[in-house]
Structure formats: structure tokens, C-alpha cells
Amino acid sequence: QQPVQSPQAVILREGEDAVINCSSSKALYSVHWYRQKHGEAPVFLMILLKGGEQKGHDKISASFNEKKQQSSLYLTASQLSYSGTYFCGTAVHKAAGNKLTFGGGTRVLVKP
Amino acid sequence: DTEVTQTPKHLVMGMTNKKSLKCEQHMGHRAMYWYKQKAKKPPELMFVYSYEKLSINESVPSRFSPECPNSSLLNLHLHALQPEDSALYLCASSQFGLADYEQYFGPGTRLTVT
């Protein structure tokens, strides 16, 4: 079953913050975050594993709440380059062939 | 080098044609994937190969036939496709077929079925 992402779209001014949520009805092993710009391939941002670890990459960080089966991606002090569609991909088992089910995506537009 | 390459970039084919998509990676990854992506939708998993063996087939119609000739190459053979099969076909790879590992995507092949 596809995880649910919210919001579906967000418009930011450069320097503003945003949070993207990804919720699953199933128990998760890992959550993967990707960003896809128009006409390009999805680019890996980070993985969060069962255990609730928070990760960061530059000014983009994420958390995974195992109890709620929810992950959040935090865009801090957004830059123009952050524009794109963000997808979360969820895996329910470690050894299930790295089978990811992607959420519907969140379109992010950062304006100057 | 974290590159996955795909050829061709664009492909237009008739419903009676046979064509193939090619994917290549030289990162030593042992898992490779085919995804289908429609416009403004997320990628949908089609097939997973792990150690050159098909490990997941997401109930994909038989008009799509994957092949993994060696650990670096992945092909998708297409035959008797339907117009609704028009989409972006993405290949990806990861070090292993375990959910701890990130997937690296190729740029995709944009397929149009006429």
C-alpha cells in the first residue's frame, strides 16, 4: 500500500523552512527520501532505518517515528536548488529485495 | 562513479514492434531494478534482480521481459505494447538488494507507444 505524503505541494521563499510528511499504515523497516527535478532522475537524499534515527544532509534532515510509522523531511533555510518533487519510498522488510513503495510526491517550489 | 546509464533516451514504437531498453552500471552493485513512471506520478517498481537472478516481479504483463546478462547490465525487452505503456522507464541499482541500501537511478528512457 502506498505511503501518504503531505502536503501535496508547497511554495517557499528562499530562506524559509518546510516539513514534508510521509505516513504508512504498515510497520516499516526503512524510509528512503528522493528528490526529482523536472525531466531528471530521482536523486537519493537519505535513508532512515528502524530505530528512529534522525539524519541530516546539509540543511535537509529527516526523522523516522517508528511508533507512528511516519517520517518527516525538514527543509531548512531553503535554497532555489531545493525545488523539485520529493518522494518517500518505504520498505517493510530488510530482505524483501529492497522493494520500495513510493508516496505520491510533494512538489516544492522555492522562489527568490 | 555513481552513474547508471540508460539507452536510448527516447523511444517511439508501434504496437507490433519489438524493442529493448538497456541499463548499465559500473559501481559493482549486485541489485538492479526497473521502474515505470507516468507523468506527475511516483515511480512504480516492475522488477528486481539480485545477483543476476530475478527476485521480484510485480505482476508485470508478459509483454515486458527483463533480462540480466551480467552483473553490470540490465535489459528490458518490449513486445506488443499498448499505448498505456507509454511512460518514463527508470533503471536503478543498489549495492545489495536489502532495504538498508540507497538506490541510484539512471536518467530514464521516455517511451511512446503509437
Is A57 a residue whose pLDDT tops 80? no
Contact A98 B104 (CB under 8 A): no
Residues of A in contact with B45 (CB under 8 A): 99-101
pLDDT of residue A55: 67
pLDDT of residue A96: 73
CA atoms in the 13 A half-sphere facing the CB of A6 = 4
Q: Which residues pair with A108 in a beta bridge?
A: A10, A84
* pLDDT level of residue A93 (50, 70, 90 thresholds): confident
Average of per-residue pLDDT across B64-85:
96
DSSP result, A7-48: -SEEEEETT--EEEEEE-SS--SEEEEEEE-TTS--EEEEEE
Q: How far apart are CA A90 and CA A19, in angstroms?
A: 18
Amino acid present at B39? A
Is A43 a residue whose pLDDT tops 70? yes
Average of per-residue pLDDT across A85-108:
91
Contact A44 B43 (CB under 8 A): no
pLDDT of residue A25: 94
Best CA proximity match to B93, nearest among B8, B33, B3, B26:
B33
Is A40 a residue whose pLDDT tops 80? yes
Is B3 a residue whose pLDDT tops 80? yes
Residues of B in contact with A44 (CB under 8 A): 102-105
* pLDDT level of residue B77 (50, 70, 90 thresholds): very high
* Cell reading at B43: 515511480
* pLDDT level of residue B2 (50, 70, 90 thresholds): low
